[in-house]
Amino acid sequence: MKRGVLYCTIFVFISMLLIPFVSAARDIEPVVSTDWLAKNMNNPKLVIVDIRKVEDYKTGHIPGAVNVFFNTWAVMKTGLRNEIPPLDDLADIIGSAGISPDSLVVVVGDADLPPNRSGITRVAWTLRYAGIENVAVLDGGYDKWKSDKKPLSTDAVKPKQTKYQVKVNEAIFAKKGHVIGAIGKAVIVDARGADFYEGKQKLDFVAKAGRIKSAVNLPAMAAYNKDGTFKNRKELSDLAAKAVGTDTSKEIIVYCDTGRLCSVWVFIMSDVLGYKNVKSYDGSSEEWMKDPNAPTEP
C-alpha cells in the first residue's frame, strides 16, 4: 500500500472514532448535545418532548419543549408495567405533541437516576416503533442542559396538534413466544445489574429471581458517564462487542424487568452502533418469570 493511501486510510479510521454518534439515512443524529440543540431550536421541524413530571416541567424547561410525561408513553396493560399504549392512544399522544412523520424529535428527561435515564430511551424507542424515524435523545438530559447554563423557560407550550397515523414497526419489539424460539439462535441480553442477572436480587413484582436461559449480561447503566451523558462511541462499541460480538446482522433481543431499562442498549446498538436486528422484549422478566414453562437459569 502506498504511503499516501495508508495515511488517508488511517485518517478516515481515526475520524470515525472521533465522531461521537453517527446515524445513517436520518436527518438527525440519535444522540444530540446541548450545544446542537441550542443552535437548532428555531428549526420548524424540531419537536422537543420533555417527559418529566408536570410539576418539574413548570419550574423550568427547555424553551419550546412540550411536556408529555413518561407514564403517558408506557402504561400498565394485561398486568404488565411499561407497555406500549393501544395504537389509537399512541397516535393521539404523538399528534397532541405536535409530531409529524417528518419531525425531528428530541426526547428530554432527567438523567440523574437509572429509571429516568432509561425513560428517555424508552420513549425514543416507542416513537421509532410508531414510525418516527428522526428521533434523538438529549445527551445528559435536562440536567446537562441546566448545568451548561442554557436558556430556560416557565412558559407552558401548546403545540399545534397533528393527526398522526401510526405506522407500526413490529420488527423492533419481540413477544414472549418469539423469545422462546430464539433461545440458542439469537443473542439474548439481560440489561439489568449483575445481582439481578445472577439471581441474587429481584423486584417484588417479578415472580422469581433468575434470567432467561442463555442470556448474557450487559448492564444498561454501563453505557453512561457519572453525569448521565453517554460514553463515547468507541467505549460503547467495545462494551457491546464484548457482550454480543461484532456481527451486526445477528438477531439481538434485549430485556430487563419491565422493558424500560433495556431500551438503553436497544437504542444504542440499533441507532448509534448500527446493529441491524435489535429487538426489545417488552414483557421482560415480569412476564417471563410468571410462566413456569419459560426456560430460565440459574
**Cα-based torsion angle of the residue sequence 228, 216, 75, 132 in order, rounded to the nearest 10 degrees:** 70
Q: Which residue has the cell 504511503?
A: 3
pLDDT along the chain (298 residues), means of 10: 42 39 70 98 97 98 98 97 97 98 97 97 98 97 98 95 94 97 98 98 98 98 98 98 98 98 98 98 98 96
User: Looking at the chain, which residues constitute the CATH 3.40.250.10 domain(s)?
Assistant: 21-147, 170-297
Report residue 89 CA to chain centroid gap. Answer: 21
Residues 165 and 130: beta-carbon distance below 8 Å: no
The pLDDT of residue 110 is: 98
Cell of 295: 426456560
Q: Please state, in angstroms and rounded to a whole number, the distance separating the CA atoms of residues 106 and 241.
A: 27
> Looking at the annotation, which residues are catalytic?
256
- In words, the CATH class of domain 170-297 is alpha beta
What are the φ and ψ backbone dihedral angles of 165, each rounded to 5 degrees? -105, 115
Residues 6+ apart with CB under 8 A from 138: 32, 33, 34, 37, 106, 107, 108, 120, 144, 145
The pLDDT of residue 9 is: 40
Between vectors from CA 239 to CA 70 and to CA 116, what angle results, nearest 5°? 15
Q: Please state, in angstroms and rounded to a whole number, the distance separating the CA atoms of residues 119 and 123.
A: 6
- 252 forms beta bridges with 187, 278
Q: Which fold has domain 21-147?
A: Oxidized Rhodanese; domain 1 (3.40.250)
DSSP-derived secondary structure for the chain: --HHHHHHHHHHHHHHHHSS---TT-SS-SEE-HHHHHHTTT-TTEEEEE-S-HHHHHH-B-TTPEE--HHHHSEEETTEEEEPPPHHHHHHHHHHTT--TT-EEEEE---SSHHHHHHHHHHHHHHHHTT---EEEETTHHHHHHHTT---B-----PPP--------GGGEE-HHHHHHHTTTSEEEE-S-HHHHTTS---TTSSSS-EETT-EE--GGGGB-TTSPBPPHHHHHHHHHHHH-S-TTS-EEEE-SSSSTTHHHHHIIIIIS--SSEEEESSHHHHHTT-TTS-EE-
pTM of the model: 0.91
Model confidence over 49-65: pLDDT tens digits? 999 999 999 999 999 99
The pLDDT of residue 26 is: 79
